[in-house]
Amino acid sequence: MRKKIVAGNWKMFQNSFSIKDFIEDFPPLVADIDDIEHIIFPPFVYLNLFQAQNKIPYGAQNMHFEERGAFTGEISAGMLRDLGCKFVLIGHSERRHIFKETPEMLEKKILAALQDELTPIYCIGEKIEERRSGKTFEVLSSQLRDGLSEVRDLTKVIIAYEPVWAIGTGETATPEIAEEAHVFIRSELETIMPGISEDISVLYGGSVKPENTKELIKMKNIDGFLVGGASLKPETLAQISRFSVEEK
């Protein structure tokens, strides 16, 4: 059975004060919401604030694929485990497009994360010009195959479908567009590893906010959300979580 998940990607936002407030304020707001996993991805330097609490599962927004070595500025999967992380985002579109991470790097990161028992949330999604030229499925298919072909147990991976044109733009995919992509993703997962696709959580991300959660979560193949901007405030994230349970 796949899990329902609402995750917050904080990117390069927040500070120690706002995070301490979040850690205090968020758990009571979702205490009565069962059957959903909340995960926060703070900037690296604030992971220790999450380590000091035990209510909110957390992870890192990125990692390096090597275990150790002369890689100035990088952080390994083992180091993240050491800080209590259970999850890591891999292949977020900002990593792919701004920091030029290649499919080869992302595959290595996924394998290294799994090796260290971190659950990767593998982010995939097409750019607007790819959608306009009818290449959406082609792009999603190669991103999935590039990243996951060598993974032995795909049930240990979470997928986030985040169309690049919807990230931070205020323009969300319609429920129908998102569902069409999620159905395709699940069918691709089924071809990569038959028999497991119903057990893999596929999240939607891209301008998710309380106002559009209800319609999106009604879609059969959307198992939750990876939320950027709207995850920074505990009340807003809790609202998204509440709708994700009530409307499913």
Which CB, 31 or 128, lies closer to ligand PGA? Answer: 128
- Does position 5 bind ligand PGA by CB under 6 A? no
**Of residues 14 and 207, the one with the C-beta less far from ligand PGA:** 207
Indicate the pairing of strand 158-161 with strand 202-205.
parallel
For helices 210-217 and 175-192, give the axis angle rounded to 10 degrees: 50
Q: Which of the following is catalytic: 107, 162, 179, 188?
A: 162
Interface with ligand PGA includes 125 (CB under 6 A)?
no
Give 50 or 225: the residue with its C-beta nearer to ligand PGA.
Answer: 225
Residue selected from 4, 6, 9, 154 as contacting ligand PGA according to rule CB under 6 A: 9
CB of 159 to ligand PGA, least distance (A): 13
Measure CA 144 to chain center. Answer: 14
Establish if 207 lies at the interface with ligand PGA (CB under 6 A).
yes
Gap between the Cα atoms of 181 and 183, Å rounded: 5
Which one-letter DSSP state was computed for residue 149? T
User: Which of 92, 179, 182, 188 is flagged as catalytic?
Assistant: 92
Tokens (6 digits) for 68:
């150790």
Comparing CA positions, the residue from 143, 55, 151 lying closest to residue 111 is: 151
Considering only 159, 227, 237, 240, the residue that binds ligand PGA (CB under 6 A) is: 227
Q: Is 42 in the site for ligand PGA (CB under 6 A)?
A: no
Please, which residue, 56 or 192, has the CB nearer to ligand PGA? 56
Q: What is the helix (H) or strand (E) element at residue 39, kind and residue range?
A: strand 37-41
Annotated active-site residue 182? The verdict is no
Is the CB of residue 164 less than 8 Å from the CB of residue 127? yes
* Single residue of 162, 179, 188, 223 touching ligand PGA by CB under 6 A: 162
Question: Could you say whether residue 228 binds ligand PGA (CB under 6 A)?
Answer: yes
10 Å Cβ neighbour count for 35? 9
What is the DSSP-derived secondary structure letter of residue 86?
-
| Smallest gap from residue 66 Cβ to ligand PGA (A) | 25
The span from the CA of 203 to the CA of 214, in Å, is 14
Q: Residue 66 or residue 201: which is nearer to ligand PGA going by CB?
A: 201
Minimum Å gap between C-beta 68 and ligand PGA is: 29
Strands (E), 82-212: 87-90, 119-124, 158-161, 202-205
Answer yes or no: 162 catalytic. Answer: yes
Residues in contact with ligand PGA by CB under 6 A are 9, 162, 167-168, 205-208, 226-230
Catalytic residues: 92, 162
